[in-house]
Structure 1
Amino acid sequence: MPGGRAQQSHRILHVFRAPVGGLFRHVVDLTRLQAAEGHAVGLVCDASTGGERAEQVLRDLAPHLALGVLRVPMVRNPDVSDLRALRAVRAQALATGATVLHGHGAKGGVFARLAPLGAAGQGVIRVYTPHGGSYNYRPGTPLHRLYMAAERLMARRTDLFLFESEYVASRHAAYAGGPPRLARIVHNGISEAEFAPVETAEDPFDLVYVGELREAKGLPVLLRALARLRAQGRNLRLLMVGSGPDTESLAAMAENQGLRHAIAFEPPQAIRPVLGRGRVMVVPSLAESLPYVVLEAAAAGQPLVATNVGGIPEIFGAHSKDLVPSGDCVALSEAIAKILDETPEVRRGRAQALSNSLRTRFSMNRMAADVLCGYAAALQQRGLHPTAASVTA
């Protein structure tokens, strides 16, 4: 359990691209819990994304980062600049004496698994947590075929796969394939404090969206659903909190749909206060892995309308029948109307039932313990033995 004495000490370097969203939250949570267990932890991530919010999180995290933070330029898509980032990861791994290179997301997975360490790499395990990434591309498209071919090649350099959902694990098996590799499914976890109910603000928005402002999140579908509901005489208001590459095009679409006065756009911020500003949270995604935003909202007892994609059914469990087909603005608008037309008691009761079902299945401490067990299994398979720790966290 976190806070105890580490039986084996690791020197862990988490490598990822953008310090934003659920992936960043996952890395931050792991860092705190691994450091509390007596392990030395460091980060390598992009220098140009995340803004002041990421800077503040990294400053707060600094006391837990015995191996420090290295920020270097990284871009989303394959680029010649990847070679510079790869060299930077290599240099940081060697300088810190890392024994675990844990890549997160597609780019982090590339850098952690392909960084050339020479003879020093014999004592290092390479770990990969996809967080959706390239597995979310539509099967059969050129990009999907390209990325799955790359995943098949990089699997040879992967000592341990830590899939955050059964969905991503199944996508890997179906499209990347190859010989069986050491793998674990480790669901994202949340803390006990996140199960505290959120108080609804006075005069709340009818709907709230929290996340990246990207078309892949299904936001054009949400805007069309909102326009449809308003055309039916429902004077609904939507709060959209986040940032992303499609911010301007979404604002233009809202204007074209006659929704300018029905939508408020706000920058990224802590989720719990935002939840209290809306009656119902909408997650209209076209693709997901195991989104933290759904876990956080569901744990807090926030009424939810979400799409039936990726690992979201794993979160909803027995309540998955309430999920909506993705890309269908009619189905989305009908689900929104249905939940808003329920009495507050019925709406809260369903939300609380989902919250209760999450408590034992998505524990943050269990997540951290399962990751460390995965490391141990990978080290044992390689015949490596970490040093016994002499530090009490």
Structure 2
Amino acid sequence: MPRAILHVMRSPVGGLFRHVVDLAREQSARGHRVGIVADASTGGERAAGILTALDAELALGVTRVAMSRDLGPSDWSAGRHVARRLAAMNVDVVHGHGSKGGAYARLVGGDRLKVYTPHGGSLHYSRRTPVGLVYLTLERLLAARTDLFLFESAFGRDAFRAKVCEPKGLVKVVHNGVGPAEFEPVARLDATAAPGAAAMTDLLFIGELRHLKGVDVLIDAIAELRRHGRRLTATLVGAGPDAGLFQDQAERLGLTGSIIWPGALPAREAFARGRLMVVPSRAESLPYVVLEAGAAGLPQIATAVGGIGEIFGPDAGLLIRPGDALALAAAIAASLDDPAAAEASAARLRERIGREFSIAAMTDGVLAAYDEALGRRAV
């Protein structure tokens, strides 16, 4: 039956944002009344354009309100905004995404079905740190107010159980998904492009430029390969708080002319810029960039963290240890030395993603979980 669903999230960036947008659009296309509440101060022009378009598409529209990353005075006004939206739209299901969106949804959700998808969030913290202790304690308190936990990966589910508690609400794992257009071939750039023009490099990284993503490990691996006579080029796509540190590291290691820093780019535009994508993360949930690159058929090397192994399935043994520059350098060299094997692995991954990681399958799983959770409440 048609539902009235409100998705609540904080910052409209990254994989969490993509997940909410795809899910809201597909739920709306299936006849549900859907709305979104998001932070008003982040995301930039790109997010503003997407949310403006969604506001016209979704029956419950899109509203934005200031939400701070950390605990602060704005939480009171943001919580009141969500509560007013829930009441005005006669919402059946309030679905919180990420730590802050999940908190608002569950604190003001009342007797509606309260759903939580962590998307990593607090689960990246450790109780051994003061900040981690605060966030994970709050997660435990909010868990008692949650009817349905939806995890993007089995890894996320297990991390929640280990770091927070055993959930009392219904628990389901529903993987992220990609759409049909993402399986279209990507036209690669010319490696011999004229000076000043974008050219294809040996390696490609796409993501936030911060320590968690392992960019420093990739730079060390490139330097290690150069010490052994292998001079590789790389394009590092993205922006983030540690960009300056990584650029200083590259300069210190003599890699300034070998690494291109184009800033943030759409994923498919970025895919054209490298022969081999590298995902050197120290921690992940279920990263969209791995799904997107896999759907596009781009060979990639990734670390064995989070739910990446769930994406690779039978080929999970190809994943490498996080934080190990020597292992990463060896994997890069092996992949570039045997392009046929790399392409065969990419073809297997593409087929697996097409079969098991679609937006349609993701939406099927989420809606079925809503129905099951609502059925349990009715008993």
| Secondary structure in 1 matching 2:172 | strand
| Secondary structure in 2 matching 1:87 | helix
Change (3 A) 1:135 1:23: same
| Secondary structure in 2 matching 1:285 | coil
The separation in 1 between residues aligned to 2:11 and 2:156, in whole angstroms, is 20
- Alignment partner of 2:68 out of 68, 75, 88: 75
- Alignment partner of 1:162 out of 150, 156, 163: 150
Q: Confirm or deny: 8 A CA contact 2:2 2:32 kept in the other structure.
A: yes
Opposite residue 35 of structure 1, the aligned amino acid is S
- Alignment partner of 1:180 out of 164, 168, 184: 168
* Residue aligning to 2:248: 252
* 1:351 maps to 2:346: yes
* Residue aligning to 1:103: 96
Q: Confirm or deny: 8 A CA contact 1:34 1:368 kept in the other structure.
A: yes
* 1:373 maps to 2:361: no
Opposite residue 344 of structure 2, the aligned amino acid is G
Q: Confirm or deny: 8 A CA contact 2:127 2:136 kept in the other structure.
A: no
The Cα offsets for residues 45-68 of structure 1, whole Å up to 9 and x where unpaired, read as: 111211111112223323322212
Of structures 1 and 2, the one scoring higher in RCO (CA 8 A, sep 6+) is 1
* 1:282 maps to 2:270: no
* Aligned length in residues: 371
List aligned pairs for 1:1-393, cutoff 5 A.
8-115=1-108, 121-122=110-111, 124-138=112-126, 140-178=128-166, 180-203=168-191, 204-342=200-338, 344-383=339-378
The CA deviation at 1:114 is 1.0
Higher deviation after alignment, 247-256 or 40-49: 247-256
The CA deviation at 1:140 is 3.8
TM score, norm. by length of structure 2 = 0.93
The separation in 2 between residues aligned to 1:310 and 1:109, in whole angstroms, is 20
The CA deviation at 1:335 is 0.9
The percentage of aligned residue pairs carrying the same residue is 49
| Secondary structure in 2 matching 1:162 | strand
Opposite residue 78 of structure 1, the aligned amino acid is L
Unpaired stretches in structure 2, ≥5 consecutive residues: 192-199
Opposite residue 202 of structure 2, the aligned amino acid is D
The separation in 1 between residues aligned to 2:34 and 2:99, in whole angstroms, is 21
* Residue aligning to 2:194: none
| Secondary structure in 1 matching 2:301 | strand
Q: Confirm or deny: 8 A CA contact 1:152 1:178 kept in the other structure.
A: no
The separation in 2 between residues aligned to 1:216 and 1:77, in whole angstroms, is 18
Opposite residue 264 of structure 2, the aligned amino acid is P
Unpaired stretches in structure 1, ≥5 consecutive residues: 1-7, 385-393
Q: Confirm or deny: 8 A CA contact 2:281 2:322 kept in the other structure.
A: yes
The Cα offsets for residues 92-118 of structure 1, whole Å up to 9 and x where unpaired, read as: 222222221111111111111112x6x
| Secondary structure in 1 matching 2:306 | coil
Opposite residue 220 of structure 1, the aligned amino acid is D
Change (3 A) 1:367 1:149: same
Q: CA RMSD in A?
A: 1.7
Higher deviation after alignment, 353-362 or 248-257: 248-257
Q: Confirm or deny: 8 A CA contact 1:31 1:64 kept in the other structure.
A: no
Higher deviation after alignment, 15-24 or 269-278: 269-278
The separation in 2 between residues aligned to 1:317 and 1:179, in whole angstroms, is 26
The CA deviation at 1:129 is 0.6
The Cα offsets for residues 193-229 of structure 1, whole Å up to 9 and x where unpaired, read as: 3223323221011111111111111111111112222
| Secondary structure in 1 matching 2:236 | strand
The Cα offsets for residues 236-287 of structure 1, whole Å up to 9 and x where unpaired, read as: 1111111222222222222223222222112322211211210000101010
The separation in 2 between residues aligned to 1:47 and 1:179, in whole angstroms, is 31
Q: Confirm or deny: 8 A CA contact 1:240 1:265 kept in the other structure.
A: yes
Higher deviation after alignment, 146-155 or 360-369: 146-155
The separation in 1 between residues aligned to 2:129 and 2:159, in whole angstroms, is 14
Q: Confirm or deny: 8 A CA contact 1:41 1:64 kept in the other structure.
A: no
The separation in 1 between residues aligned to 2:201 and 2:20, in whole angstroms, is 31
* Residue aligning to 1:390: none
The CA deviation at 1:336 is 1.0
Change (3 A) 1:213 1:197: same
Q: Confirm or deny: 8 A CA contact 2:219 2:250 kept in the other structure.
A: yes
The separation in 1 between residues aligned to 2:66 and 2:252, in whole angstroms, is 36
The Cα offsets for residues 70-102 of structure 1, whole Å up to 9 and x where unpaired, read as: 111222222232222222211222222222111
The CA deviation at 1:179 is 5.3
TM score, norm. by length of structure 1 = 0.90
